[in-house]
Amino acid sequence: MKVDQRLSQITVCAVVVSTLLFAGDAAARAGSLRVISLSPATTEILFALGLDEEIVAVSSVCDYPEKARFKEKAGSFSNPNMEKIIFLKPDIIFCAGLEQSGTVRELRRLGMNVSVNDPVSMDELYVSIREIGRCTGREREAENIIRGMSEEIERVESLLKNTPSGKKPRVFVEIWHSPLMTAGKGAYLDELLRLAGGENIAYDTVRPYCYFSAEQVIKRDPECIFLMYMDNAGSLQKAGRRFGWEHVSAVRNKRVYNDIDANLLLRPGPRAALGVREIYKRLYP
């Protein structure tokens, strides 16, 4: 009798404990999404969506927000380390296009889940953010981000309606100094510039990011010049002192700006609207 009772007690205990353990394990597993981001823009979006522990590795150039600097590195932007990525067993890997297309192909061939995000316009950026939100189960946060960005941009648009002048300031955006390169027709930066109320003097380039002739800059006489180097080390001295550029309006009126963080505008991410506002502030002081 006593043995029977004991036995049933033990059995009940065992059943309860194992159910709890199983449930606990399942709960833990449900929350453990593992994500790798190989693109700094996507890293910003992931953090903005509220992910943190889920991000197991980033690329070496992912430096915003601060927390991203302390994440495990899965290689450089143009050369992600396959072994490391496979070893970390991610559920999703977020990549950019272009340079990483070879890596994307190989990761997909190995059966990994890869999401490529390469927006070239604000609309595509919103689609990207929505898609990333869907992949990571943060649809609500994604909509919030998109709403915040479009509201900010609408605010700038309404301010632009109030500005009396019908003419928009001519702008030259310099993304590299030697060779002289700019963001022209069809570039993401070009659209941001337009939203901020500027007129890009590089409106007829053959491809989005390309070389631009210094002579054309002098001829088209921009009123503002933005130095947007990827390493944020644009020197005002260099641009201002270029031979022949002394008479360019932007140089004469000292409207060469290098104090906007280039990453706000080069990376299609959640800070894009902030970048638009920064440009607007300098175009219409």
Partner 1 sequence: MEKHRAGKLLLLAFLLCISAAFAVLNGPVHIPLNELFLDENRKILSLRLLRVLLAALTGSGLAVSGAALQAILRNPLAEPYLLGTSSGAGLGAVIAIIAGLSSIFLPAVSFLGALVSMFFVYYLSKRGNRVPVESFILSGVIVSLLCSAVIAFLVSVSPDEALHGVVWWLWGSLQMYDVKLFFIVAALVTPAMAGVYVFSQDLNAVSIGEEDALHLGIKIEKVKKVIFFLTSLITAGLVCVSGVIGFTGLILPHITRLWVGPDHRTLLPASCLLGAVFMIVCDLLSRTVYAPFEIPIGVITACLGAPVFVILMRKRQRVT
Which residues of the chain form contacts with partner 1 (CB under 8 A)?
60, 73-76, 78-79, 81-84, 86-87, 89, 98-99, 102, 105-106, 109-110, 207, 209
CB closer to partner 1 out of 45 and 187? 187
CB closer to partner 1 out of 78 and 232? 78
In whole angstroms, the minimum distance from the beta carbon of 163 to partner 1 comes to 35
In whole angstroms, the minimum distance from the beta carbon of 259 to partner 1 comes to 27
In whole angstroms, the minimum distance from the beta carbon of 75 to partner 1 comes to 5
Instruction: List % helix, strand, coil for the chain (3-state, nearest 5).
Output: 50, 15, 40
Which residues on neighbouring strands pair with residue 171, listed in sequence order?
A: 200, 224
* Beta carbons within 8 Å of 158's beta carbon, 6+ residues apart: none
Which residues on neighbouring strands pair with residue 95, listed in sequence order?
A: 116
In whole angstroms, the minimum distance from the beta carbon of 215 to partner 1 comes to 18
CB closer to partner 1 out of 228 and 239? 228
CB closer to partner 1 out of 20 and 214? 214
* Beta carbons within 8 Å of 99's beta carbon, 6+ residues apart: 77, 78
CB closer to partner 1 out of 82 and 127? 82
- 223 closest CA partner among 252, 203, 257, 250: 250
In whole angstroms, the minimum distance from the beta carbon of 224 to partner 1 comes to 26
35 and 92 Cβ atoms separated by less than 8 Å: yes
Q: How many residues does the chain have?
A: 285
